[in-house]
């Protein structure tokens, strides 16, 4: 399942799984400080949204930041050849569309149509949805917890990204699988993972500690000073 998730994620065209994990951990350690690679607080909205990911300085993967994941050769392989999954997805859509054009002409589809909508349009939309967490998620929304950064909870982002919009929650409880804490904080990704756990496809989903729901608003990170934010979610 770990390998399937890695390949599936790589079809997004957003580089490899270890590349993402390394940058994500750096973001949490240095959130909205000088070394944060995609902070709108430090370098503005456009940089945090798209500039950082196109910068040549941020293309290499820092394997030293993810030694626990780099020990899996299949993940290293997917990360090294991260262009292969999106290429194969595009090829499969083109081939499927061409086949449907012949065997099911009543559908009025084609290889080019599936390629454009199923790959190019969807990839662009997905890319901006992902990047909104880095940009919009640190500007617009509410803060339940004082996490020492500008992370926000945003319902609109949570709906668009299937749960990632509860970003302030995530920055406070970084190791928790569920990003929405209360029942009204919709977290579709967590629901899917729970369903997968129920049939044995995944296991050991990390839960929030008890104080997550009992804590008053704007709880400071008293036991977790900013320089020691090390419990980073993959």
For residue 234, pLDDT beyond 70? no
Residue 211 pLDDT level (bands cut at 50, 70, 90): confident
Instruction: Say if 128 falls within a structural domain.
Output: no
Instruction: Say if 124 falls within a structural domain.
Output: no
Closest to 140 in 3D by CA, of 7, 227, 40: 40
Closest to 57 in 3D by CA, of 41, 76, 37, 78: 37
Asked if 89 contacts 119 with a C-beta cutoff of 8 angstroms, the reply is yes
Cβ burial 36-62 (10 Å sphere, 16+ → b, else e):
bbbbbebeeeebbbbbbbeeeebeebe
pLDDT at 18: 98
Residues 22 and 90 in one domain: yes
DSSP code for 205: P
Instruction: Say if 33 falls within a structural domain.
Output: yes
Residues 93 and 159 in one domain: no
In tens, the pLDDT along 126-183 reads 999 999 999 999 999 999 999 999 999 999 999 999 999 999 999 999 999 999 999 9
Instruction: Say if 47 falls within a structural domain.
Output: yes
pLDDT at 217: 56
Residues 9 and 100 in one domain: yes
Instruction: Say if 213 falls within a structural domain.
Output: yes
Residue 214 pLDDT level (bands cut at 50, 70, 90): confident
In tens, the pLDDT along 9-53 reads 999 999 999 999 999 999 999 999 999 999 999 999 999 999 999
Residues 13 and 74 in one domain: yes
pTM, entire model: 0.86
Q: What are the φ/ψ torsions at residue 21 (nearest 5 degrees)? A: -60, -40
DSSP code for 166: B
Show the domain range for 168.
140-234
DSSP SS3 for 219: strand
In tens, the pLDDT along 70-116 reads 999 999 999 999 999 999 999 999 999 999 999 999 999 999 999 99
Residues 63 and 148 in one domain: no
Asked if 31 contacts 227 with a C-beta cutoff of 8 angstroms, the reply is no
* Angstrom distance (rounded) from CA 179 to CA 33: 23
Residues 95 and 173 in one domain: no
Q: Where are the alpha helices (DSSP H) in the chain?
A: 2-10, 17-29, 40-43, 45-46, 52-54, 67-70, 73-80, 84-103, 111-115, 122-134, 155-160, 167-172, 188-198, 211-214
Tally of structural domains, the chain: 2
Given 115, 149, 169, the domain boundary residue is 115
* Angstrom distance (rounded) from CA 149 to CA 171: 9
């Amino acid at each position: 399942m770990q390998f399937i998730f890695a390949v599936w994620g790589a079809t997004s065209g957003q580089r490899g799984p270890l590349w993402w994990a390394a940058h994500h951990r750096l973001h949490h350690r240095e959130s909205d400080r000088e070394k944060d690679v995609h902070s709108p607080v430090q370098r503005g909205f456009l940089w945090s949204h798209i500039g950082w990911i196109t910068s040549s300085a941020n293309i290499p993967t820092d394997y030293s930041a993810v030694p626990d994941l780099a020990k899996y050769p299949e993940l290293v392989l997917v990360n090294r050849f991260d262009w292969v999954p999106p290429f194969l997805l595009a090829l499969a859509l083109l081939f499927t569309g061409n086949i449907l054009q012949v065997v099911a002409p009543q559908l009025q589809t084609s290889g080019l149509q599936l390629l454009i909508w199923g790959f190019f349009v969807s990839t662009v939309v997905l890319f901006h949805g992902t990047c909104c967490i880095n940009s919009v998620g640190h500007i617009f929304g509410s803060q339940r917890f004082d996490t020492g950064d500008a992370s926000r909870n945003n319902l609109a982002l949570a709906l668009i990204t299937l749960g990632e919009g509860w970003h302030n929650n995530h920055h406070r409880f970084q190791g928790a699988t569920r990003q929405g804490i209360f029942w009204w904080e919709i977290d579709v990704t967590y629901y899917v993972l729970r369903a997968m756990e129920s049939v044995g496809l995944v296991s050991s989903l990390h839960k929030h500690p008890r104080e997550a729901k009992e804590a008053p608003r704007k709880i400071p990170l008293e036991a977790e000073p900013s320089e020691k934010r090390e419990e980073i979610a993959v």
